[in-house]
Each structure stands twice: as C-alpha cells, then as structure tokens.
Amino acid sequence: MSEIKFAVLGQFFHCPIKGDFEYAKKALIQVDNNGTIVSVMTEADVEFQTQVSFFSSKSKLIELSSSQYLMPGMVDLHVHAPQFPQAGKGLDLPLYDWLQDYTFPLEAKFADMDFTKQIYPSLVKSLLANGTTSAVYFATIHKDSSVELARECLKQGQRGYVGKVNMDEASQCPPFYIEHSTADALKDTELFIQEVIGLEGNQHQLVSPVLTPRFVPSCTSEMLQGLGELAQKYQCHVQTHCSESDWARDYSQQMYGKTDAEIYRDFGLMTNRTILAHSIFLTAADHAIIKETGASIAHCPLSNMYFANAAMQTREILDNDLKCGLGSDLAGAPIPSIFHTCLDAVNHSRVREDGTSTYLAADTRGESGSRISFLESYWMATVGGGKAIDAKVGLFQVGFEFDALVVDTAVSDSNIFIIDEMDSDKDKLEKIITLNNRQNICKVWVKGQLVVNK
Ligand SMILES: O=c1[nH]c(=O)c2nc[nH]c2[nH]1
C-alpha cells in the first residue's frame, strides 16, 4: 500500500450528479504518494478526529481557513496554445477570414523554437493560475514545437493532452502554413505520439498525445484516413472541430455530402477518446453517432458567439446524456478561465432561450426550455471534462486523482462576497462559479502535486 503524502482538512464542493452539488462542511481528504485520493471522511466518521490528530502530528495536515473552499480542478477541453498572443484582439472577422488573416500567420511562427519557448511557458502558467488542472491543446503543424508544449506541461505539472495539428489541403491552407506532404505529416505525427509518450518524466502519462486533424476543410481525405489508422493503432485521443459554423458545415456537405460527425466516423476518427470542439449544427443522426461511439463534445460558449452564427444545443446534449465538457477555445475567445466559461455557457443558453429581437413578441422570440443551470455548467467543467479526457478527475472520491484548487473568498482583491447568514450553500457555490478570479485561487494540485501555492 502506498504511503499518505498529505491530508487536506476543510470544506469542499463538488458535483457528483449533473445539475446538483454536494457540500461538505468539514472533511478530511487523504492523498497518497501517487496523487490518488485514498480516503474521504467527514465529521460523522468515528475515526475523523483521530485521523486529523495523526496527520497533524506528522506535519502532513493542510488545514483550510473558513474562507477557503476546496474544489475539483477545472478541465479545459479546447485550447489553441499558439493563439495565446492573439487573445483579446482580432475577433472582428468571421471564421474563415479570421483563420487566414490572423491565426495562420501567428501559428506559422511556431516553426521557431525560440518563439515557442517564449510563449508556451506563460500560457501553461496562466491556465494553472486560473485553476485549469487539465488542458486539451491544439499546438501547430510543427512536431518539435508541439513536443515542447507537452514538455512544458510536464515541467509545470499540468495534465496536458497535446496535439500536433494536421492540415494539408492546399486550397484551404496558405503556402506558408501547410504540411510539406501528407505522407511526411503522418510520419511526423506518429513520431510525435512516440516522443510525447516517451518524454523524460512522463512515466505516469501526465501528458498524452492527441491526434489533431484541424477540421474537415483543412484536411485531405488521405490525411483523415491516415489519422484514423493512427487512432486505431495507438488508441490515443483525437480532437478536431465539428460543425462549428454555417460555412464549415456547408463545406463538408459540398465535399462529402455528409456531416462532420459522419465524415469523422467513416475515417475511423470517432472513438470514446474523441473530443469534438463546438458541435453546433448537430443533426439527430449526429447525436446518435456521438452517443454510440462515446465521443465527447467541447462546448465553447464564448467563441460560439463570435464564429458559430447560431446557439449551441446544450440543453438537448445534456438531456440526451452525450459526453460534454467546456472549452475556453483560446483565442477564438479571449479568457483563459474555465470558471468564466461556466458563466458564458449559462449566458449563452439564456440568450438562446429568450431570443433577441425586440421586433418579435416575447413568446416567439426564443427557444423555450433551453437554459442550463450554473450547476450544470460547473458539472461540465469538472466531471464532464474528466469523462471526456477519460481521466478520474473532477470529484473528491476514493480512487480519483487529486486534481484540486483552493478558492479563498477573503483575499483582499476578491470579487466574491459571501455572508454566511444570508447565503445558502448553493448560493456560495454559484457565487464562486460566477465571480471567481485567478486572485482567489491560492493553491492548485495536479495528481497530488502542488503546482500553484500563494
Ligand atoms: O475557433 C476556431 N479556432 C481555430 O483555430 C479553428 N481552426 C479551425 N476551426 C477553428 N475554430
């Protein structure tokens, strides 16, 4: 049996059931040397006090104050790592022009390893500081630079899922940012997988390679076929964009006469380790394919407002029990915080429910019954994300990895203002979800390793 590394004493929130939450006022969570939760006790347990005294005497007790809340680490299912320098600018164009004018020229710069090493450490640091313990990254088409991102995740202790992007369709990719050849790109991708798995210090697979066809328009059918074969060979994760805008949806129909989900399925890219970013224009048949294959959706509410030209079917996706988590979609949206994404997801659904045009009567303006709750969005950010990456994270339960953060509502520059006599436990959790900022996050652990400590 492995040794206990530390035990945390304090209050916690988590959401074992979608749309609901659990609050423990005083709990003791024991974490072993592998970073796994081996015991969760509350005051009702007879052994509670004895265990607290024991860990205290061994100097292994981390005791939270009354303004501090232990919460599961956040999972960001969709981050474009090289777009970090672009965050907060250039969202004036539709998707196609945005890619061609702003994004591809920036991503092309990552051929330069010095530039890579200038950007990626700051990105990983920023995400960790915002409580993102697991991140699923698109890197660029460059193998070495993409491996460097995985190395950086490992160095800073973030659970990273990193993809070398694949794009080889000459009519859609600029000459300065396209694979040299499909065959070379597939060889590079296979090498990338092997190099990430074999990175020094990655014995526990904290970082994993992800097959990453950018989206249907940027890939030839030979590329999709080759990546599908690699997905079967290595059983690794797959990530891509799915039916994200009118333009992208129509492109797939014109080229293949199929939806994106059908195309990915037919090329062997839909597995229970596939993460489909956006997934706005889903048909009933797409829902069935996603459910049957066990693929997941990364809901990116803020970038959908810029690029999707439509609102997400979040209510139906949750009701249909499709696997779904949240993505920041840096830098199709500017904010590197999944807490913020939770708020965006709720706002997005409320605008859909209410509709927008003041020229229409209230009862014809929106799509009634389509809102989601704060608890559902928080569930997606933690448990839903954990299921998508196929990792035991997102809950404080025995056997789960200790990926966690501490929110302190009493830091001097806090936006969260809690009054114990006035706020129910649910009020407190909703305030934390909606008002939390990086200054409130004072500790972050990934796999039991303390990676942020303020
Ligand atoms: O939001 C997006 N960001 C991207 O970089 C991208 N590439 C294809 N489709 C995309 N959508």
Q: Which atom of ligand 1 is nearest to the CA of 241?
A: 9
Q: How confident is the model at residue 249 (pLDDT cuts 50, 70, 90)?
A: very high
Which ligand 1 atom minimizes the distance to the CA of 306? 1
Instruction: Give me the residues paired with residue 32 across strands.
Output: 4
Ligand 1 atom, smallest distance to 215 CA: 8
CB-CB contact of 306 with 269 (8 Å): no
CA of 214 to the centre of ligand 1 (A): 8
Cα distance between residue 142 and residue 147, in whole Å: 9
Any residues with CB less than 8 A from the CB of 418 and at least 6 apart, and which? 67, 409, 428, 431
Q: What are phi and psi of 170, to 5 degrees?
A: -60, -30
- Whether residue 340 has pLDDT greater than 70: yes
Best probe residue, ligand 1, of 215, 260, 279, 300 (max atoms within 8 Å of C-beta): 215
- Which one-letter amino acid corresponds to residue 216? V
Q: Where are the domains of the chain?
A: 4-72+395-453, 74-389
Residue 276 Cα to ligand 1 midpoint, Å, equals 12
Distance from residue 8's CA to the centre of ligand 1 (Å): 40
Tens digits of per-residue pLDDT, 354-380? 999 999 999 999 999 999 999 999 999
Straight-line distance from the first to the last Cα atom of the chain, in angstroms, rounded to the nearest whole number: 32
Question: Taking residues 417-443, what's their average pLDDT?
Answer: 97
Of the pLDDT bands very low, low, confident and very high (cuts 50, 70, 90), residue 2 is confident
Report pLDDT digits (tens) over 158-178.
Answer: 999 999 999 999 999 999 999
Task: Tell me, in angstroms, the distance from the centre of ligand 1 to residue 79's CA.
Answer: 10
Helix (H, G, I), strand (E, B) or coil at 419: coil
Q: For domain 74-389, say whether CATH 3.40.50.2300 is its number.
A: no
Residues within 6 Å of ligand 1 by CB: 80, 95, 99, 103, 214-215, 241, 244, 303, 307, 329, 332
Answer yes or no: same fold for 4-72+395-453 and 74-389: no
CA of 331 to the centre of ligand 1 (A): 9
For residue 1, the model assigns a pLDDT of 64
SS3 186: helix
CATH class of 4-72+395-453: mainly beta
Give CA separation, 406 vs 182, 230, 258, 354, in Å.
46, 39, 46, 35
